[in-house]
Structure 1
Protein backbone atom coordinates (compact mmCIF):
# COMPACT_ATOMS: atom_id res chain seq x y z
CA UNK A 1 0.00 0.00 0.00
CA UNK A 2 1.40 3.37 -1.06
CA UNK A 3 0.58 5.36 2.08
CA UNK A 4 0.62 9.12 1.57
CA UNK A 5 -0.44 9.81 5.16
CA UNK A 6 1.04 7.84 8.06
CA UNK A 7 0.06 8.25 11.71
CA UNK A 8 2.04 6.22 14.20
CA UNK A 9 1.04 5.97 17.86
CA UNK A 10 -0.38 9.50 17.91
CA UNK A 11 -1.48 10.87 21.26
CA UNK A 12 -2.63 14.47 21.72
CA UNK A 13 -3.17 16.09 25.12
CA UNK A 14 -4.32 19.57 26.04
CA UNK A 15 -3.59 21.45 29.25
CA UNK A 16 -6.76 22.62 30.97
CA UNK A 17 -6.81 25.94 32.77
CA UNK A 18 -7.50 26.07 36.50
CA UNK A 19 -11.13 26.49 37.55
CA UNK A 20 -12.96 26.70 40.86
CA UNK A 21 -13.79 23.01 40.60
CA UNK A 22 -10.23 22.08 39.54
CA UNK A 23 -7.83 24.65 41.04
CA UNK A 24 -4.80 22.73 39.76
CA UNK A 25 -6.07 22.59 36.21
CA UNK A 26 -5.58 19.29 34.45
CA UNK A 27 -4.93 17.47 31.20
CA UNK A 28 -7.39 16.39 28.53
CA UNK A 29 -6.35 13.49 26.33
CA UNK A 30 -8.19 13.97 23.05
CA UNK A 31 -6.48 11.21 21.01
CA UNK A 32 -4.64 8.16 22.30
CA UNK A 33 -2.18 5.87 20.49
CA UNK A 34 -3.82 6.24 17.09
CA UNK A 35 -2.16 4.66 14.07
CA UNK A 36 -3.54 4.93 10.54
CA UNK A 37 -2.32 4.80 6.93
CA UNK A 38 -4.13 6.60 4.12
CA UNK A 39 -3.11 5.52 0.61
CA UNK A 40 -2.49 8.12 -2.09
CA UNK A 41 -5.70 9.03 -3.88
CA UNK A 42 -8.05 7.49 -1.30
CA UNK A 43 -11.28 9.10 -0.11
CA UNK A 44 -11.37 8.38 3.64
CA UNK A 45 -14.29 9.45 5.79
CA UNK A 46 -14.00 9.79 9.55
CA UNK A 47 -16.81 9.44 12.10
CA UNK A 48 -16.95 9.33 15.89
CA UNK A 49 -18.95 10.63 18.85
CA UNK A 50 -18.68 14.31 19.76
CA UNK A 51 -15.43 14.83 21.64
CA UNK A 52 -13.70 11.82 20.04
CA UNK A 53 -10.91 13.95 18.57
CA UNK A 54 -11.99 14.13 14.91
CA UNK A 55 -11.17 17.81 14.47
CA UNK A 56 -8.03 17.44 16.60
CA UNK A 57 -6.87 14.74 14.20
CA UNK A 58 -7.52 16.98 11.21
CA UNK A 59 -5.57 19.80 12.89
CA UNK A 60 -2.63 17.42 13.33
CA UNK A 61 -2.77 16.42 9.66
CA UNK A 62 -2.99 20.06 8.64
CA UNK A 63 -0.01 20.98 10.80
CA UNK A 64 -2.11 23.36 12.89
CA UNK A 65 -0.94 21.51 16.03
CA UNK A 66 1.66 18.90 16.94
CA UNK A 67 1.11 15.51 18.61
CA UNK A 68 2.11 15.08 22.24
CA UNK A 69 3.66 11.74 21.32
CA UNK A 70 3.83 9.74 18.10
CA UNK A 71 4.37 10.95 14.56
CA UNK A 72 2.33 12.37 11.67
CA UNK A 73 3.95 12.01 8.25
CA UNK A 74 2.93 13.07 4.75
CA UNK A 75 4.90 11.68 1.82
CA UNK A 76 7.46 10.32 4.27
CA UNK A 77 8.12 13.71 5.89
CA UNK A 78 7.18 14.69 9.44
CA UNK A 79 4.39 17.28 9.53
CA UNK A 80 5.77 20.29 11.42
CA UNK A 81 3.32 22.97 10.29
CA UNK A 82 0.85 23.98 7.57
CA UNK A 83 1.90 23.42 3.97
CA UNK A 84 0.62 23.97 0.45
CA UNK A 85 0.59 20.20 -0.06
CA UNK A 86 -2.51 20.11 2.18
CA UNK A 87 -5.67 22.11 1.53
CA UNK A 88 -8.19 22.55 4.36
CA UNK A 89 -11.94 23.19 4.02
CA UNK A 90 -13.85 24.01 7.20
CA UNK A 91 -17.58 24.07 7.95
CA UNK A 92 -17.46 27.88 7.93
CA UNK A 93 -16.61 29.29 4.53
CA UNK A 94 -14.27 32.05 5.82
CA UNK A 95 -14.51 34.04 2.59
CA UNK A 96 -13.44 37.68 2.46
CA UNK A 97 -16.70 39.63 2.00
CA UNK A 98 -14.95 42.51 0.21
CA UNK A 99 -13.40 40.26 -2.44
CA UNK A 100 -15.10 38.75 -5.46
CA UNK A 101 -15.34 35.01 -5.98
CA UNK A 102 -12.29 35.09 -8.26
CA UNK A 103 -10.31 37.26 -5.82
CA UNK A 104 -11.15 34.93 -2.92
CA UNK A 105 -9.76 31.97 -4.85
CA UNK A 106 -6.61 33.85 -5.92
CA UNK A 107 -5.83 35.20 -2.45
CA UNK A 108 -3.42 32.46 -1.42
CA UNK A 109 -1.80 32.46 -4.85
CA UNK A 110 -1.08 36.17 -4.44
CA UNK A 111 0.84 35.40 -1.25
CA UNK A 112 2.97 32.96 -3.26
CA UNK A 113 3.89 35.69 -5.70
CA UNK A 114 2.31 33.99 -8.70
CA UNK A 115 1.84 36.46 -11.59
CA UNK A 116 -1.65 37.95 -11.90
CA UNK A 117 -2.54 36.32 -15.23
CA UNK A 118 -1.38 32.88 -14.08
CA UNK A 119 -3.23 33.00 -10.79
CA UNK A 120 -6.43 34.25 -12.46
CA UNK A 121 -6.21 31.45 -15.03
CA UNK A 122 -5.70 28.87 -12.31
CA UNK A 123 -8.58 30.28 -10.24
CA UNK A 124 -10.92 30.24 -13.25
CA UNK A 125 -10.02 26.60 -13.89
CA UNK A 126 -10.87 25.67 -10.31
CA UNK A 127 -14.13 27.64 -10.35
CA UNK A 128 -15.13 25.80 -13.52
CA UNK A 129 -14.24 22.51 -11.83
CA UNK A 130 -16.62 23.25 -8.92
CA UNK A 131 -19.39 24.46 -11.25
CA UNK A 132 -19.07 28.21 -10.68
CA UNK A 133 -18.04 29.34 -14.14
CA UNK A 134 -19.69 32.71 -14.77
CA UNK A 135 -19.75 33.69 -11.08
CA UNK A 136 -16.21 35.08 -10.94
CA UNK A 137 -17.34 38.67 -10.26
CA UNK A 138 -19.93 37.88 -7.60
CA UNK A 139 -19.36 38.80 -3.96
CA UNK A 140 -20.02 36.32 -1.10
CA UNK A 141 -23.28 38.03 -0.11
CA UNK A 142 -24.57 37.33 -3.62
CA UNK A 143 -23.96 33.57 -3.30
CA UNK A 144 -25.96 30.80 -1.64
CA UNK A 145 -24.45 28.71 1.16
CA UNK A 146 -23.69 25.87 -1.23
CA UNK A 147 -22.01 28.24 -3.68
CA UNK A 148 -19.88 29.74 -0.90
CA UNK A 149 -18.67 26.27 0.04
CA UNK A 150 -17.82 25.62 -3.61
CA UNK A 151 -15.68 28.77 -3.54
CA UNK A 152 -13.94 27.51 -0.39
CA UNK A 153 -13.21 24.18 -2.11
CA UNK A 154 -11.94 25.95 -5.23
CA UNK A 155 -9.68 28.12 -3.07
CA UNK A 156 -8.14 25.03 -1.46
CA UNK A 157 -7.73 23.27 -4.81
CA UNK A 158 -6.04 26.32 -6.37
CA UNK A 159 -2.85 25.40 -4.50
CA UNK A 160 -2.99 22.04 -6.30
CA UNK A 161 -2.56 20.16 -3.01
CA UNK A 162 -2.03 16.43 -2.90
CA UNK A 163 -4.32 16.16 0.13
CA UNK A 164 -7.67 17.81 0.87
CA UNK A 165 -8.71 17.88 4.55
CA UNK A 166 -12.42 18.60 5.12
CA UNK A 167 -14.03 19.25 8.51
CA UNK A 168 -17.81 18.75 8.19
CA UNK A 169 -17.92 21.08 5.17
CA UNK A 170 -21.59 20.39 4.35
CA UNK A 171 -23.03 20.29 7.87
CA UNK A 172 -24.65 23.74 7.70
CA UNK A 173 -26.35 23.15 4.34
CA UNK A 174 -29.88 21.93 3.64
CA UNK A 175 -30.32 18.28 2.69
CA UNK A 176 -30.81 18.87 -1.04
CA UNK A 177 -27.75 21.13 -1.36
CA UNK A 178 -25.70 18.73 0.75
CA UNK A 179 -26.48 15.79 -1.54
CA UNK A 180 -25.70 17.88 -4.60
CA UNK A 181 -22.31 18.90 -3.19
CA UNK A 182 -21.55 15.31 -2.24
CA UNK A 183 -21.95 14.40 -5.90
CA UNK A 184 -19.82 17.36 -6.96
CA UNK A 185 -17.09 16.46 -4.48
CA UNK A 186 -16.91 12.88 -5.76
CA UNK A 187 -16.69 14.20 -9.32
CA UNK A 188 -13.85 16.57 -8.33
CA UNK A 189 -12.06 13.78 -6.47
CA UNK A 190 -12.22 11.51 -9.52
CA UNK A 191 -11.00 14.33 -11.77
CA UNK A 192 -8.06 15.39 -9.60
CA UNK A 193 -6.95 12.18 -7.87
CA UNK A 194 -6.52 14.17 -4.67
CA UNK A 195 -6.38 12.26 -1.37
CA UNK A 196 -9.38 13.31 0.75
CA UNK A 197 -9.85 13.00 4.51
CA UNK A 198 -13.44 14.00 5.28
CA UNK A 199 -14.89 14.41 8.78
CA UNK A 200 -18.64 14.05 9.19
CA UNK A 201 -21.28 13.40 11.84
CA UNK A 202 -23.49 11.82 9.19
CA UNK A 203 -23.25 8.05 8.87
CA UNK A 204 -25.02 8.07 5.51
CA UNK A 205 -22.67 10.77 4.22
CA UNK A 206 -19.65 8.80 5.45
CA UNK A 207 -20.75 5.64 3.63
CA UNK A 208 -21.81 7.48 0.48
CA UNK A 209 -18.49 9.32 0.06
CA UNK A 210 -15.86 7.06 1.57
CA UNK A 211 -13.89 4.21 0.11
CA UNK A 212 -13.19 3.45 3.76
CA UNK A 213 -14.86 4.73 6.91
CA UNK A 214 -12.65 5.21 9.97
CA UNK A 215 -14.66 4.97 13.20
CA UNK A 216 -13.15 6.63 16.27
CA UNK A 217 -13.89 5.56 19.84
CA UNK A 218 -15.27 7.84 22.50
CA UNK A 219 -12.74 10.11 24.22
CA UNK A 220 -9.84 9.62 24.13
CA UNK A 221 -10.16 8.94 20.43
CA UNK A 222 -8.69 5.66 19.25
CA UNK A 223 -9.19 3.91 15.94
CA UNK A 224 -12.06 1.53 16.69
CA UNK A 225 -12.56 0.14 13.20
CA UNK A 226 -11.90 0.67 9.51
CA UNK A 227 -14.86 -0.29 7.35
CA UNK A 228 -14.12 -1.04 3.68
CA UNK A 229 -16.92 0.27 1.46
CA UNK A 230 -17.52 -1.58 -1.82
CA UNK A 231 -20.52 -0.16 -3.65
CA UNK A 232 -19.42 -0.96 -7.19
CA UNK A 233 -19.85 1.76 -9.80
CA UNK A 234 -21.42 4.56 -7.78
CA UNK A 235 -21.95 6.67 -10.89
CA UNK A 236 -24.11 3.95 -12.47
CA UNK A 237 -26.48 3.57 -9.51
CA UNK A 238 -29.73 5.51 -9.90
CA UNK A 239 -30.50 5.53 -6.16
CA UNK A 240 -27.45 4.27 -4.34
CA UNK A 241 -28.79 5.10 -0.88
CA UNK A 242 -31.61 2.58 -1.36
CA UNK A 243 -29.25 -0.19 -2.45
CA UNK A 244 -29.04 -3.25 -0.16
CA UNK A 245 -25.23 -2.99 0.05
CA UNK A 246 -25.46 0.66 1.06
CA UNK A 247 -27.97 -0.21 3.78
CA UNK A 248 -25.66 -2.97 5.04
CA UNK A 249 -22.65 -0.64 5.36
CA UNK A 250 -24.73 2.10 6.95
CA UNK A 251 -25.97 -0.33 9.60
CA UNK A 252 -22.43 -1.63 10.22
CA UNK A 253 -21.07 1.87 10.81
CA UNK A 254 -24.15 2.84 12.85
CA UNK A 255 -23.64 -0.17 15.16
CA UNK A 256 -19.97 0.66 15.72
CA UNK A 257 -20.71 4.32 16.35
CA UNK A 258 -23.71 3.66 18.57
CA UNK A 259 -21.56 1.53 20.89
CA UNK A 260 -19.17 4.47 21.32
CA UNK A 261 -21.94 7.01 21.86
CA UNK A 262 -23.33 4.85 24.68
CA UNK A 263 -19.85 4.42 26.15
CA UNK A 264 -19.31 8.18 26.08
CA UNK A 265 -22.66 8.76 27.80
CA UNK A 266 -21.85 6.21 30.49
CA UNK A 267 -18.47 7.88 31.09
CA UNK A 268 -20.10 11.30 31.31
CA UNK A 269 -18.20 12.57 28.25
CA UNK A 270 -21.30 13.08 26.14
CA UNK A 271 -24.73 14.51 26.78
CA UNK A 272 -27.72 14.07 24.51
CA UNK A 273 -29.68 17.28 24.02
CA UNK A 274 -33.51 17.44 24.04
CA UNK A 275 -33.46 17.62 20.22
CA UNK A 276 -31.47 14.38 20.05
CA UNK A 277 -28.15 15.93 19.07
CA UNK A 278 -24.88 15.21 20.85
CA UNK A 279 -22.83 17.60 22.94
CA UNK A 280 -19.43 16.86 24.42
CA UNK A 281 -19.52 17.22 28.22
Structure 2
Protein backbone atom coordinates (compact mmCIF):
# COMPACT_ATOMS: atom_id res chain seq x y z
CA UNK A 1 0.00 0.00 0.00
CA UNK A 2 1.53 3.35 -1.04
CA UNK A 3 1.52 6.35 1.28
CA UNK A 4 1.76 9.97 0.30
CA UNK A 5 3.79 12.37 2.39
CA UNK A 6 1.88 15.43 3.52
CA UNK A 7 3.55 18.65 2.38
CA UNK A 8 4.96 20.97 5.03
CA UNK A 9 3.38 23.97 3.29
CA UNK A 10 0.47 23.82 0.83
CA UNK A 11 -1.24 26.58 -1.12
CA UNK A 12 -4.50 25.50 -2.76
CA UNK A 13 -6.02 27.74 -5.45
CA UNK A 14 -5.10 30.93 -3.59
CA UNK A 15 -6.54 34.15 -5.03
CA UNK A 16 -6.35 37.64 -3.58
CA UNK A 17 -8.43 40.58 -4.75
CA UNK A 18 -8.66 44.15 -3.51
CA UNK A 19 -11.49 46.64 -4.09
CA UNK A 20 -10.62 49.50 -6.44
CA UNK A 21 -11.28 52.71 -4.55
CA UNK A 22 -14.23 54.67 -5.88
CA UNK A 23 -15.53 51.82 -8.06
CA UNK A 24 -17.36 48.52 -7.71
CA UNK A 25 -14.56 46.72 -9.51
CA UNK A 26 -11.89 44.52 -7.93
CA UNK A 27 -8.18 44.33 -8.60
CA UNK A 28 -6.75 40.77 -8.70
CA UNK A 29 -3.22 40.64 -7.30
CA UNK A 30 -2.70 36.86 -7.43
CA UNK A 31 -4.90 34.26 -9.08
CA UNK A 32 -5.36 30.54 -8.45
CA UNK A 33 -1.90 29.78 -7.04
CA UNK A 34 -1.28 26.18 -5.95
CA UNK A 35 2.14 25.17 -4.57
CA UNK A 36 3.38 22.36 -2.32
CA UNK A 37 6.61 22.51 -0.31
CA UNK A 38 8.03 19.35 1.19
CA UNK A 39 9.62 19.43 4.64
CA UNK A 40 13.16 20.78 4.35
CA UNK A 41 12.68 22.08 0.81
CA UNK A 42 14.08 25.40 -0.45
CA UNK A 43 11.66 26.90 -2.98
CA UNK A 44 12.20 30.27 -4.65
CA UNK A 45 9.43 32.39 -6.20
CA UNK A 46 10.61 34.74 -8.95
CA UNK A 47 8.53 37.14 -10.99
CA UNK A 48 8.33 40.64 -12.45
CA UNK A 49 7.62 43.69 -10.29
CA UNK A 50 3.96 43.95 -9.34
CA UNK A 51 3.20 40.25 -9.83
CA UNK A 52 1.93 39.85 -6.26
CA UNK A 53 4.99 38.26 -4.61
CA UNK A 54 4.69 40.37 -1.46
CA UNK A 55 0.90 39.95 -1.39
CA UNK A 56 1.48 36.21 -1.35
CA UNK A 57 3.92 36.55 1.55
CA UNK A 58 1.34 38.57 3.52
CA UNK A 59 -1.11 35.70 3.04
CA UNK A 60 1.47 33.08 4.05
CA UNK A 61 2.35 35.11 7.12
CA UNK A 62 -1.31 35.31 8.08
CA UNK A 63 -1.29 39.10 7.82
CA UNK A 64 -4.12 38.99 5.25
CA UNK A 65 -6.95 36.54 4.53
CA UNK A 66 -7.15 35.21 0.98
CA UNK A 67 -10.22 36.07 -1.11
CA UNK A 68 -10.34 32.44 -2.20
CA UNK A 69 -8.31 29.29 -1.61
CA UNK A 70 -6.52 27.89 1.42
CA UNK A 71 -3.02 27.74 2.94
CA UNK A 72 -1.97 24.85 5.18
CA UNK A 73 1.07 24.10 7.34
CA UNK A 74 1.33 20.41 8.27
CA UNK A 75 -2.30 20.06 7.19
CA UNK A 76 -3.53 22.80 9.52
CA UNK A 77 -5.11 25.92 7.94
CA UNK A 78 -3.30 29.24 8.31
CA UNK A 79 -5.80 31.64 9.88
CA UNK A 80 -3.52 34.40 11.15
CA UNK A 81 0.05 35.18 12.29
CA UNK A 82 1.76 32.42 14.25
CA UNK A 83 5.07 31.19 15.62
CA UNK A 84 5.03 28.29 13.15
CA UNK A 85 6.25 30.81 10.52
CA UNK A 86 9.32 33.01 10.65
CA UNK A 87 9.42 36.00 8.30
CA UNK A 88 12.52 37.86 7.10
CA UNK A 89 11.75 41.12 5.29
CA UNK A 90 13.88 43.23 2.96
CA UNK A 91 14.07 46.04 5.51
CA UNK A 92 15.40 44.09 8.53
CA UNK A 93 12.52 45.21 10.84
CA UNK A 94 14.77 45.13 13.91
CA UNK A 95 13.72 46.94 17.09
CA UNK A 96 16.22 49.85 17.35
CA UNK A 97 16.11 50.02 21.16
CA UNK A 98 17.10 46.36 21.52
CA UNK A 99 20.57 44.88 21.12
CA UNK A 100 21.17 42.16 18.54
CA UNK A 101 20.80 39.53 21.27
CA UNK A 102 17.57 41.02 22.61
CA UNK A 103 16.15 41.28 19.09
CA UNK A 104 16.77 37.56 18.67
CA UNK A 105 15.12 36.89 22.04
CA UNK A 106 11.96 38.76 21.04
CA UNK A 107 10.08 35.74 19.66
CA UNK A 108 11.33 33.58 22.52
CA UNK A 109 9.68 35.96 25.00
CA UNK A 110 6.38 35.43 23.14
CA UNK A 111 6.90 31.69 23.61
CA UNK A 112 7.39 32.22 27.34
CA UNK A 113 10.91 30.78 27.54
CA UNK A 114 12.83 31.47 30.77
CA UNK A 115 15.50 34.20 30.64
CA UNK A 116 18.49 31.83 30.86
CA UNK A 117 17.16 29.65 28.04
CA UNK A 118 16.43 32.70 25.88
CA UNK A 119 19.99 33.91 26.33
CA UNK A 120 21.47 30.49 25.55
CA UNK A 121 19.40 30.12 22.41
CA UNK A 122 20.16 33.68 21.25
CA UNK A 123 23.90 33.01 21.64
CA UNK A 124 23.55 29.80 19.64
CA UNK A 125 21.88 31.61 16.74
CA UNK A 126 24.29 34.54 16.89
CA UNK A 127 27.04 31.98 16.36
CA UNK A 128 25.06 30.20 13.63
CA UNK A 129 24.80 33.41 11.57
CA UNK A 130 28.43 34.38 12.22
CA UNK A 131 27.80 37.19 14.73
CA UNK A 132 29.29 35.79 17.90
CA UNK A 133 30.70 38.71 19.89
CA UNK A 134 28.14 41.17 18.46
CA UNK A 135 25.25 40.38 20.79
CA UNK A 136 25.50 43.68 22.67
CA UNK A 137 25.51 45.86 19.54
CA UNK A 138 22.45 47.92 18.67
CA UNK A 139 21.09 47.92 15.10
CA UNK A 140 22.58 51.35 14.31
CA UNK A 141 26.01 49.91 15.16
CA UNK A 142 25.67 47.10 12.59
CA UNK A 143 26.14 47.05 8.80
CA UNK A 144 23.24 46.17 6.52
CA UNK A 145 24.49 42.62 6.10
CA UNK A 146 24.88 42.18 9.86
CA UNK A 147 21.36 43.50 10.48
CA UNK A 148 19.99 40.95 8.05
CA UNK A 149 21.93 38.19 9.83
CA UNK A 150 20.27 39.27 13.08
CA UNK A 151 16.86 39.21 11.36
CA UNK A 152 17.53 35.67 10.10
CA UNK A 153 18.72 34.56 13.54
CA UNK A 154 15.62 36.08 15.16
CA UNK A 155 13.34 34.17 12.78
CA UNK A 156 15.17 30.89 13.32
CA UNK A 157 15.50 31.17 17.11
CA UNK A 158 11.87 30.38 17.93
CA UNK A 159 12.11 27.30 15.69
CA UNK A 160 9.39 27.98 13.09
CA UNK A 161 8.12 25.22 10.82
CA UNK A 162 8.59 27.40 7.73
CA UNK A 163 10.90 30.35 7.03
CA UNK A 164 9.42 32.96 4.68
CA UNK A 165 11.88 35.41 3.11
CA UNK A 166 10.76 38.48 1.13
CA UNK A 167 13.68 39.73 -1.01
CA UNK A 168 15.86 39.83 2.13
CA UNK A 169 19.11 40.71 0.32
CA UNK A 170 17.75 43.20 -2.25
CA UNK A 171 18.96 46.30 -0.37
CA UNK A 172 22.53 45.01 0.03
CA UNK A 173 25.55 45.54 -2.20
CA UNK A 174 26.45 42.71 -4.59
CA UNK A 175 29.37 41.34 -2.56
CA UNK A 176 27.41 41.28 0.72
CA UNK A 177 24.41 39.76 -1.07
CA UNK A 178 26.46 36.86 -2.46
CA UNK A 179 28.11 36.31 0.92
CA UNK A 180 24.73 36.11 2.65
CA UNK A 181 23.40 33.76 -0.02
CA UNK A 182 26.24 31.38 0.87
CA UNK A 183 25.48 31.85 4.58
CA UNK A 184 21.79 31.13 4.04
CA UNK A 185 22.56 27.90 2.19
CA UNK A 186 24.88 26.86 5.01
CA UNK A 187 22.21 27.66 7.64
CA UNK A 188 19.54 25.83 5.64
CA UNK A 189 21.71 22.71 5.46
CA UNK A 190 22.50 22.98 9.19
CA UNK A 191 18.89 23.45 10.31
CA UNK A 192 16.89 21.55 7.68
CA UNK A 193 14.28 24.31 7.63
CA UNK A 194 11.59 24.58 4.97
CA UNK A 195 12.23 27.88 3.16
CA UNK A 196 10.11 29.88 0.75
CA UNK A 197 12.23 32.70 -0.67
CA UNK A 198 10.86 35.54 -2.81
CA UNK A 199 13.11 37.46 -5.22
CA UNK A 200 13.12 39.26 -8.55
CA UNK A 201 16.74 38.18 -9.20
CA UNK A 202 17.15 35.25 -11.59
CA UNK A 203 20.73 34.45 -10.51
CA UNK A 204 19.73 34.52 -6.85
CA UNK A 205 16.77 32.23 -7.53
CA UNK A 206 18.92 29.65 -9.33
CA UNK A 207 21.76 29.82 -6.81
CA UNK A 208 19.50 29.25 -3.79
CA UNK A 209 16.54 27.19 -4.90
CA UNK A 210 16.01 23.48 -5.30
CA UNK A 211 12.99 24.57 -7.33
CA UNK A 212 12.14 27.94 -8.85
CA UNK A 213 8.48 28.85 -9.37
CA UNK A 214 8.14 31.49 -12.10
CA UNK A 215 5.20 33.84 -11.64
CA UNK A 216 3.37 35.69 -14.39
CA UNK A 217 2.83 39.44 -14.43
CA UNK A 218 -0.27 40.73 -12.68
CA UNK A 219 -2.35 38.92 -11.73
CA UNK A 220 0.34 36.60 -10.45
CA UNK A 221 -0.07 32.96 -11.41
CA UNK A 222 2.45 30.11 -11.41
CA UNK A 223 3.64 29.97 -15.01
CA UNK A 224 5.91 26.98 -14.46
CA UNK A 225 8.20 25.44 -11.86
CA UNK A 226 11.81 24.65 -12.77
CA UNK A 227 13.77 21.97 -10.90
CA UNK A 228 17.33 23.20 -10.24
CA UNK A 229 19.97 20.49 -10.25
CA UNK A 230 23.41 22.07 -10.08
CA UNK A 231 26.64 21.19 -8.30
CA UNK A 232 27.08 23.96 -5.71
CA UNK A 233 30.46 22.70 -4.52
CA UNK A 234 32.48 24.52 -7.18
CA UNK A 235 34.30 27.84 -6.78
CA UNK A 236 32.40 29.90 -9.34
CA UNK A 237 29.04 28.22 -9.89
CA UNK A 238 27.45 31.24 -11.58
CA UNK A 239 29.95 31.05 -14.46
CA UNK A 240 29.30 27.41 -15.34
CA UNK A 241 27.51 26.36 -18.52
CA UNK A 242 24.93 24.56 -16.40
CA UNK A 243 24.09 27.76 -14.49
CA UNK A 244 23.91 29.79 -17.74
CA UNK A 245 21.40 27.33 -19.20
CA UNK A 246 19.11 27.72 -16.19
CA UNK A 247 19.52 31.50 -16.36
CA UNK A 248 18.56 31.56 -20.04
CA UNK A 249 15.59 29.27 -19.47
CA UNK A 250 14.16 31.33 -16.59
CA UNK A 251 14.97 34.64 -18.31
CA UNK A 252 13.04 33.42 -21.37
CA UNK A 253 10.07 32.48 -19.18
CA UNK A 254 10.16 35.87 -17.45
CA UNK A 255 10.96 38.11 -20.40
CA UNK A 256 7.48 38.22 -21.88
CA UNK A 257 5.98 38.67 -18.41
CA UNK A 258 8.21 41.68 -17.69
CA UNK A 259 7.21 43.28 -20.99
CA UNK A 260 3.54 42.62 -20.25
CA UNK A 261 3.92 44.13 -16.77
CA UNK A 262 5.43 47.29 -18.28
CA UNK A 263 2.48 47.62 -20.67
CA UNK A 264 0.03 47.21 -17.77
CA UNK A 265 1.85 49.89 -15.76
CA UNK A 266 1.76 52.33 -18.70
CA UNK A 267 -1.93 51.72 -19.23
CA UNK A 268 -2.65 52.20 -15.52
CA UNK A 269 -0.71 55.49 -15.52
CA UNK A 270 -3.00 56.88 -18.23
CA UNK A 271 -6.26 55.87 -16.53
Does TM, scored on the shorter chain, surpass 0.5? yes
Aligned counterparts of 1:148 and 1:40: Cα–Cα separation in 2: 27
Aligned-pair CA distance for 1:269: 3.4
Aligned to 1:261: 258
Deviation above 4 Å: which 4+ runs of structure 1?
Answer: none
Residues 250-272 of structure 1: CA deviation (Å, up to 9, x unaligned): 11111101111122233x2369x
For the Cα contact (< 8 Å) 2:8–2:37, is it kept in 1? yes
Greater shift in the superposed pair: 256-265 or 39-48 = 256-265
Are 2:249 and 1:252 equivalent residues in the alignment?
yes
With normalisation by structure 2, the TM-score equals 0.94
Gaps of 5+ in 1: 19-23, 272-278
Aligned counterparts of 1:26 and 1:38: Cα–Cα separation in 2: 33
Aligned to 1:222: 221
Query: Aligned ranges for residues 28-39 of structure 1 at < 5 Å?
Result: 28-39=27-38
Aligned counterparts of 1:270 and 1:128: Cα–Cα separation in 2: 48
Aligned to 1:147: 146
Gaps of 5+ in 2: none
Query: Aligned ranges for residues 175-254 of structure 1 at < 5 Å?
Result: 175-232=174-231, 234=232, 236-254=233-251
- CA-based RMSD of the aligned residues comes to 1.5
Residues 54 and 134 of structure 1, relative CA distance in 2, 3 Å threshold: same
Residues 162-200 of structure 1: CA deviation (Å, up to 9, x unaligned): 210000000000000000000000000000000110111
Residues 75-112 of structure 1: CA deviation (Å, up to 9, x unaligned): 10111011111100000111111111111111121222
Aligned counterparts of 1:215 and 1:149: Cα–Cα separation in 2: 25
Aligned counterparts of 1:52 and 1:261: Cα–Cα separation in 2: 9
Aligned counterparts of 2:109 and 2:76: Cα–Cα separation in 1: 26
Aligned counterparts of 1:62 and 1:38: Cα–Cα separation in 2: 15
With normalisation by structure 1, the TM-score equals 0.91
Aligned-pair CA distance for 1:58: 1.1
Number of paired residues? 265
